[in-house]
Chain A
Amino acid sequence: MRVLDIKLLRDLWRLKWQALAISVLIAVGVAVTVMAYSSQKALSTAREQYYRETRFADIFATLKRAPLSLTRRLAAINGVRAVDPRIIKSGLMEVRGQVRPAIAQIISLPERDEEALNRIVLMAGRLPDARQPHEAVALKTFLDATGLRLGDEVSTVIGGRRITLRIVGAALSPEYIYMPSPGSTLPDDKHQGIFWMTRAAVEEAADLDGAFNAVAIAITPGRNEAAIRAEVDATLAPYGAGVAIPRADQASHAFLEAEFKELKTSGAIFPPIFLIVAAGLVHLVMSRLVDVEREQIGLLKAFGYSDFEAAVPFLRLATLIGLGGAIMGGALGAWLSQGITTLYREFMRFPELTGDFHFAAFAISALLATGLTAAGALVAVRRATRLNPAVAMAPPRPTTYRAGILDGGYFDAMIDPLSRMILRTLFRFPVRSFMTCVGLAASLMVLLATQFVYDSFEVVLDHSYYRIQRWSDQVGLAEVRGPSAVKNLTQLPGVLAAEPIRSIPVIFRANGIEERGGLIGLNPGSELYRPRDEDGQALPLLSDGLILSEALASKLKVGIGDPLLVEVTEGERRELVLTVGRLSHDYSGTPAYLARPALNRLVSEGDVANGVLLLVASDARADFYHALASVPLVAGVVSRDDTVAAFRDIVTRSFSTTMVFYLGFAGAIAFGVSYNASRIAFSERVRDLATLEVLGFTHAETAFVLAGEIVVLALAAMPLGILGGHLLADAIVAAYGRDEMRLPSGISAWTHGVSLLAFAVAIGLSLIIVVRRVFDLDLVSVLKTRD
């Protein structure tokens, strides 16, 4: 081994802690990148495989009733690959241990497997026996959430008839990976029961012998999906069908897509930030590290080593540190993405989800990190090799300090000599001070921007569920009903207030843009549902115009006073032209509101509703739900409290883990910057510090000079970091926007507090480690040797 290589290894060992701190920064940048891309890759691979193996359909339609023979006409449509006619019926189901009844959907299993689309994947138990009509396979997530087990019996009321189901199997389905409950945009496992039974059993329960009321269609890849859907609509129209929906709008798929988009966004925003911040810091630290070694470079040159030969060991050192960090980051990223995949396995509901490693993400981030590390060293090495060896080897001339703006007058009296040493050093090296300050600010910025999401969720919850929607329960009716339905519900125990609501699925069209959505008809002067404007003021409902959510208006590129084409996608499918009257501010969904009488007039109906908003006394919930389960024609009930709880649960599960990682990573950056800055300051000033001790200053006073520099920079970094955090939060909010939820970007005092605390702890820890060196100074040897 060449002597320079031996020196390289020994230097690496001598600098091990600093090298480790740098490697950690790089590792963080690489790990975040690998984690984000690997888990995304694992998820999309799993979903593709799931969809392919279960033959997930492309088009979905529901109708009132059609004979099975119609299937042949659907199959004959050019481009249709497979048609799966089904019967789907829903009712309420009481589950022991749960106050609120669940919504139970009964779905018929196909008679011939080769026809089947959206095949279920049996995870436990078996399929129903054809000779046992009450046997059913249940959605596994429902069983898991409710504690129901194979062998248990449950009952539900379908079309006024009570039927009992015996659970014999647990299955997952590509159609119900997520089951957003009606009235909410989030899955609610406990109250969303899906049961598959033999066709004969469901036919009998639903009174649909030889008929179907839902159909799933797969098309040949590459065919024009929209054109096929139009033909499907035309074929099904006489059978009371709504407009067929494409896979993109299927509830579970759409939710999953949004979830994927979110992962992609965080994968696109955070890793580059971490990587760039880490690389920038490494660059800075590396160049200061080499600055300290400039005498060695001078010495090598004096012996006749060329600039290049003298530079190589340092570049190798930097590259080794960079590579070490990259490898650590790759391993950490792989481990983290395994962990995240395990987490996803639990709540993504794929039958199979195995960890994956995104090699390209690793390679690119590793290359970038290592390159920037080496570049940092190169800058400093060039600075050293450019000097004459005589100059490089000479101890750097004492830095010229000048009396600054802080000197003279009052300041002399106010600032003690030690503090003055700190301030003069900071002002003497403004670029270095600034860069360290920026590094610290970056870590605080990332801390704030990763933690603010919780604040946003709270704002969303408060706005959506306590200010706009003020009901405690929303009951969905299986059919459109008159005022008597509301009256019946008002008489249930605990009901304090009740208001009918009419919602109609529609397609909005304007400026050549098409958006699916719904018209919500509310009673004028509604107490339980109040759309609000941007300032939080309640908007009165209009009879001659729509209150349109800002999000929908911006998608359709319309404003107040603009006309909007609205196609009703149920019943007679009429087309209406409505004017945008006001804009409402919502964080979730893209609602459009209208006064209910006006809405009913537009579709030529009387005083009808298909849902009821209720305010139920909280101490009477159990009685209320028990009574509700026996009310005919109730299709479902949504509870605000349960929705909010589910919301928090989902947020905790899907965000918390990643956010804890990001918190740790941001802390590691703060630690790394602070440790390196103070460690280098220690190397550069060890003689000053030793001299102070010789002169009789205490360890604490000497340590103050060393730590003070970092503390001042950290204080200066705070406003900068907070500003950056707010800007980054805004950017994240802009990138995250999706139909189900748009985040407001305010950062709460609590989050500021937590982030600043984490920031302070990370810096404090690093200072403790470095300052301990002051206590271990060997004064004689430090002062005897030239630095």
Chain B
Amino acid sequence: MLDTSTNASSHSLPIFEIRGLTKVYTTEAGEVHALRGVDLDIVPGEMIVLLGPSGSGKSTLLNILGGLDRATSGAVVFKGLDLAGASDRTLTMYRRRSVGFIFQFFNLTASLTALENVRLITDIAASPMSAEKALTLVGLADRMNHFPAQLSGGQQQRVAVARAIAKRPEVLFCDEPTGSLDSESGVQVLEAIKIVAGEVGATVLIVTHNADIASIADRVIRFSDGRIHTIERNTSKREPRELSW
């Protein structure tokens, strides 16, 4: 049941190859080592959950993989593209074409309706699905013209899910997607993530504090003090609807 090897199963080429990754933040209080040398391969279609206490480095890794932040040293290769050495322009195109994000605080644009928030992405993506379809997939067909303030937290996060997958991303990054939600809404969001990721065949990385969520992943990676502590492969995955916390 436990598989602690760094590498994923070898039958598929990795979508991400991560080697010796470090990240150091310089603050007024001194240097903070967020990542202290991470090695990891991720294969297409995997669902990975990153667990760990605050400051363990899991969100930093997610940000670097998503092209939101840059590594201090080491290599991150996405399908042959070296993200560590990529130009701003390359990173922008990477985020535009290949990556979807879901954040803890939804980060919807308050002045746009649900539909318009999704269209923010479909306007610039290369071959997106329609914004209506994306919202239908997350079960919000009847809430398309609502503003974020008119939606519950769970509904807002599902809009964020629709917004993230509408471009048909290859990778979906979810940073504490259920962190601001109650158990029932959280489950609905995780279900939405699973369904839509399956629909577009995206690789999913979920950062969470919630160990219960780990049981829906293919692999569970535990972080501690800027390093990978353990990697577990789930032999018996559960469905999101089976969860509660």
> Which A residues contact B (CB, under 8 angstroms)?
2-4, 6-7, 10-11, 14, 295-296, 299-307, 309, 388-391, 393, 397, 400, 785-786
Within 8 A of A (CB), among B72-98: 88-89, 92-97
Nearest-CB distance from B151 to chain A (Å)? 13
Contact of A304 with B99 at beta-carbon distance under 8 Å, contacts A4-B123, A388-B68 already known: yes
Identify B112's interface contact among A6, A388, A391, A785, CB under 8 A.
A6
Using Cβ atoms and an 8 Å threshold, which residues of chain A touch B101? 302-303
Q: Which one of B89, B105, B163 lies within 8 Å of A785 (CB-CB)?
A: B105
CB distance A303 to B112 under 8 Å? Answer: no
For B67, list chain A residues within 8 Å (CB).
389
Chain B, interface residues (CB within 8 Å), range = 20 to 34
B152 to chain A, nearest CB (A): 13
- The answer, yes or no, to whether B4 is at the interface (CB within 8 Å) is no
**Whole-angstrom CA separation of A296 from B112 in the bound complex:** 12
> With A and B bound together, what is the CA distance between A390 and B101 in angstroms?
11
- Closest Cβ neighbor of B92 among chain A residues: A306
Specify which chain A residues have a CB less than 8 angstroms from the CB of B26 in the assembled complex. Answer: none
The distance from the CB of A321 to the nearest CB of chain B, in whole angstroms, is: 16
B111: CB under 8 A from chain A?
yes
User: Distance (Å) between the CB of B226 and the closest chain A CB?
Assistant: 16
Contact residues of B between 42 and 87, Cβ < 8 Å to A: 63, 66-70
Residues in B neighbouring A388, C-beta threshold 8 A: 63, 68-70
Bound: A296/B125 CA distance, A: 18
Which of A301, A303, A307, A390 is within 8 Å of B120, CB to CB?
A303
Which residue in B70, B88, B96, B120 is a CB contact (below 8 Å) of A3? B120
Q: What CA separation (Å) do A302 and B66 show in the bound complex?
A: 8
CA distance in complex: A301, B99 (Å): 12
Residue of B nearest to A388 (CB): B69
Check: B28 CB closer than 8 A to any chain A CB: yes
Question: Are B109 and A390 in touch, CB under 8 angstroms?
Answer: no
Most B CB within 10 A of own CB, among A305, A307, A309, A391 = A305
Q: Which of A295, A300, A393 lies at the interface centre, i.e. has the most chain B CB atoms within 10 A of its CB?
A: A393
- Check B124 for interface membership: any CB of A closer than 8 A: yes
Contacts of B69 in A (CB 8 A): 388-391
Minimum CB–CB distance from A391 to chain B (whole Å) comes to 7
Whether B89 pairs with A306 at a CB distance below 8 angstroms is: yes
Given known pairs A6-B116, A388-B68, the reply for A303 and B124 (CB within 8 Å) is yes
B158 is an interface residue with CB less than 8 A from chain A: no
Main secondary structure of the interface of A (DSSP, over half): helix
- Nearest A residue to B164 via CB reads A303
- Interface of B toward A, CB cutoff 8 Å: 27-28, 63, 66-70, 88-89, 92-97, 99, 101, 103, 105, 107, 109, 111-112, 116, 119-121, 123-125, 163
Q: Is the CB of A10 within 8 A of B120?
A: no
In the assembled complex, which residues on chain B have CB atoms less than 8 Å from the CB atom of A295? 107
Question: Which of A4, A299, A304 has a CB less than 8 Å from the CB of B92?
Answer: A304
Q: Is A389 in contact with B68, judged by CB distance below 8 angstroms?
A: yes
B95 contacts A304, CB within 8 Å? yes
In the bound complex, what is the Cα–Cα distance between A3 and B63 (angstroms)? 26
Sample of 11 A–B contacts (CB below 8 Å): A6-B112, A11-B111, A14-B111, A303-B101, A303-B121, A303-B163, A304-B95, A388-B63, A397-B27, A400-B28, A785-B105
With A388-B70, A393-B103 as given contacts, are A3 and B116 in contact (CB-CB < 8 Å)?
yes
Q: Which 9 A-B pairs have the closest CB atoms?
A: A304-B96, A10-B111, A390-B68, A304-B95, A390-B63, A390-B69, A389-B68, A3-B119, A388-B69
Is there an interface contact between B68 and A303, defined as CB atoms closer than 8 Å? no
B28, B93, B95, most chain A CB atoms within 10 A:
B95
**In angstroms, how far is the closest chain A Cβ from the Cβ of B116?**
5
Rounded to whole Å, the gap between the CB of B89 and the closest CB of chain A is: 7
B116→A304 contact, CB < 8 A:
no
Identify the closest chain B residue to A303 (Cβ).
B121
Given A390-B63, A786-B105, A7 contacting B111 (CB threshold 8 A) = yes
- Bound: A303/B119 CA distance, A: 11
A2 touches B109 (CB 8 A): no
Give, as a whole number of angstroms, the nearest-CB distance from B47 to chain A. Answer: 21
Find out whether the CB atom of B107 lies under 8 angstroms from the CB atom of A393: yes
